[in-house]
Amino acid sequence: MQHMIDGLWSIIYGIFNGIVTVFNIPYYFSLFGSHKDTFTAFDWILSILAFLIVFAIWGIIIWMLVMLIRKYIRFRKTNVGAEDLLQELADMHRDVMRLTREKEKIMALKFGETNIPMSEISAIINGDLDADAVAANAAANAALREGEEEEAAAGGAATNLENVRFTRLNAVDNRYMDYTPPAYQNDFTLESLCDTFRNFCCSRMGLFYEKKIIRLMFAGLSTTKLILLQGISGTGKTSLPYAMGKFFQNDATIVSVQPSWRDRTEMFGFFNEFTKKFNETELLKRIYESSYNDNINVVILDEMNIARVEYYFAEMLSIMEMPDPREWQIELVPSPWPNDPKRLNEGKLLIPQNVWYVGTANNDDSTFAVSDKVYDRALTINIDSKADPFEAPDTPPANISFSYVDSLYKKAFEEHPLEQKYLDDIEKLDAYVIRKFRVAFGNRIMKQMRTFVPAYVACGGTVIEGIDHIMVTKVFRKFDSLNLSLIRDEIKGLINYMNSLFGVGEMAECIAYLERLYKSH
């Protein structure tokens, strides 16, 4: 211990003694005085230079010490200032949260009786919506509900409206008490249905679509209940399903998707604890009403990707994957009430099969990218250009039942099954894509291809066109997520391989898409 302490003291003493020696100014002058008598002219020059160097070194040392002290002081001030700022921000955040909660309570009390959704109340709080406009709209909806309640009462409803939480759905029950199905015009084939609808769009609505788009639309509805129309604005994406509603004499329900949508309550509504009423949306009413009829019901999800589809439409995407239609149920309320609508089973709504959902998507900076989950379950149709105008005979609308169209799909599956030759070629292409690009088809895609292609052929298309469309929208679309700079050289080989399997240029959509990828990278 003594030896260690002596060593530490030597270090401290050495540092202190070194500082004293460096700054012992009298010694410098005494040393100079003891030798100056022997200096020559050259020695004087060197001595003065030596003094200047020593003074310069002192100045540098003192300047560095001052700068270090100043930096330390500034550093301490910055840290203290940042800590004070963070504390102030935390206090302000707590105050904002407290005020926001208080304002939400006030707004909820103010608008609770008008059944305004909490999403709209939050938008009012954030300044995105005008409170007076929302209140006026809610009042109008309340008046509409009151009108429906009066209609229900006039129709002989024996229920007490004070104890009814689904006023609009109960009004549907009353309206269909004496319902008589119309006489349906069930004398079409799928091909004639496509042609007739195309002529109707031209002659009655001034809309022009290529035959392939119409075939893809009707064939896609045999595979899935969800069609995704995407492309640039102004190409008639929304007009197409709207025209379908007019053609089937059962107007489509247009649901304008909002950027604030986060969950299914935006689509189906929610139970208001203040009023003890269920806030029913127009979509909910349309789905419920569809269970009473055999009409073809079209629901348009306009600008579907302005919010995240996999958020608000997640439950529907999962339900539509279930093979048994009897399992297509959504729980609206956890427990039943005696006066609930007739077709609610223990608070659950059965999604009928005669509803087609058509979503439109614009690909720009204001929208979200559609996820693979949505693409895999929907059938995508790209409408990137307007069709050329053409002449068509005056074609009236047709009243066709869903059951008949569904029977046409089943007939197509029996008459135009996918031949084994094409299945073998698809299997070879699958193995090639896995080996070269690490992308697999999957069972869902093969199942969709087996149902889509027969229906597409029955609509007037060819087998290769049907396979081509499924491949480009379901498989090759996934190439966008790959590092294309690494697989660019493999794209040409893939095109050549498809030409050898299906014929040169037959897979036109796939080849055009792959060539665009090749040229863009």
Reduce the secondary structure of 381-444 to three states and give it as a string.
EECCCCCCCCCCCCCCCCCCCHHHHHHHHHHHHHHCCCCHHHHHHHHHHHHHHHHHHCCCCCHH
Greater confidence (136 vs 505) lies with 505
**Lookup result for tokens 């579907």:** 304
Residue 158 has pLDDT above 50, yes or no: no
Query: Is the pLDDT assigned to residue 426 strictly greater than 90?
Result: yes
Are residue 448 and residue 394 in the same domain, yes or no?
no
Mean pLDDT of all residues in the chain?
85
Does residue 306 belong to any structural domain of this protein?
yes
Q: What pLDDT digit, counting tens, does each position of 31-67 carry?
A: 878 887 788 888 888 888 888 888 888 888 888 988 8
Residues for the chain: how many in total? 521
pLDDT at 269 over 80: yes
Task: State which of 380, 410, 440 marks the end of a domain.
Answer: 410
In terms of domains, do 426 and 312 share one? no
Is this model's pTM higher than 0.85 or not? Answer: no
442 lies in the same domain as 391: no
Kindly state whether residues 387 and 453 are assigned to the same domain: no
For residue 267, pLDDT beyond 70: yes
Question: Is 279 found in the same domain as 192?
Answer: yes
Which of 410, 435, 452 delimits the end of a domain?
410
Q: Is residue 44 part of a domain?
A: no
Q: Which of 15-19, 79-83, 386-390 has the lowest mean pLDDT?
A: 79-83
pLDDT value at position 481? 78
pLDDT, greater one: 482 or 103: 482
Residue 210 in this model has a pLDDT that exceeds 50: yes
Query: The CATH number of the domain where 368 resides is what?
Result: 3.40.50.300
Look at residue 234 in the predicted model and tell me its pLDDT: 80
Q: How confident is the model at residue 261 (pLDDT cuts 50, 70, 90)?
A: very high
Average pLDDT (96-112) is 65
| 436 and 325 together in one domain | no
pLDDT at 443: 85
499 lies in some domain: yes
Q: Answer whether residue 255 is part of any domain.
A: yes
Task: Determine whether 248 is exposed, middle or buried from the number of CB atoms within 10 Å of its CB (0-12, 13-18, 19+).
Answer: buried
431 and 378 inside one domain:
no
Higher pLDDT, 235 or 170: 170
Q: Strands 277-280, 348-350: parallel, antiparallel or unpaired by DSSP? A: unpaired
Say if residue 264's pLDDT is above 60.
Answer: yes
In angstroms, the Cα distances linking 419 to 67, 354, 413, 415, 424 are 85, 29, 12, 11, 9
Rg (CA), the chain: 38
Q: What is the pLDDT of residues 396-424, one digit of tens each?
A: 999 999 999 999 999 999 999 999 999 99
Residue 367 has what pLDDT? 85
Structural domain span for residue 22: 1-34
Confidence check: pLDDT of 154 > 50: no
pLDDT tens, residue by residue, 456-494:
999 999 999 999 999 999 999 888 877 777 778 889 999
Stretch 209-231: mean pLDDT: 95
Look at residue 184 and tell me whether its pLDDT is greater than 80: yes
Residue 149 in domain: no
Mean pLDDT of the region 420-445 = 89
Tell me, yes or no, whether 202 and 317 share the same domain: yes
pLDDT over threshold 70, residue 147: no
Task: Identify the pLDDT of residue 128.
Answer: 47
pLDDT of amino acid 106? 65
- Please say which residue of 383, 410, 437 terminates a domain: 410
pLDDT greater than 50 at residue 152:
no
Determine the pLDDT at residue 380. 95
Do 287 and 351 touch, CB atoms closer than 8 A?
A: yes
Residues 333 and 465 in one domain: no
* Whether the Cβ atoms of residue 425 and residue 502 lie closer than 8 Å to each other: yes
Q: What is the largest CA-CA distance in the chain?
A: 135
Q: Kindly tell me if the per-residue pLDDT of 496 is higher than 70.
A: yes
Instruction: Please indicate whether residue 94 or residue 133 has the higher confidence score (pLDDT).
Output: 94
| Residues 247 and 275 both lie in one domain | yes
129 pLDDT exceeds 90? no
Is residue 29 assigned to a domain?
A: yes
Q: Is residue 115 part of a domain?
A: no
Same domain, 259 and 301: yes
Classify each residue of 456-468 as buried b or exposed e, where b means 16 or more C-beta atoms within 10 Å of its C-beta: bbbbbbebbbbbb
CA gap 355, 287 in Å, rounded: 7
pLDDT(335) > 50: yes
| In a shared domain, residues 337 and 284 | yes
In a domain, 102, yes or no: no
Q: How many structural domains compose the chain?
A: 3
Rounded to an integer, what is the distance from CA 494 to the centroid of its chain? 31
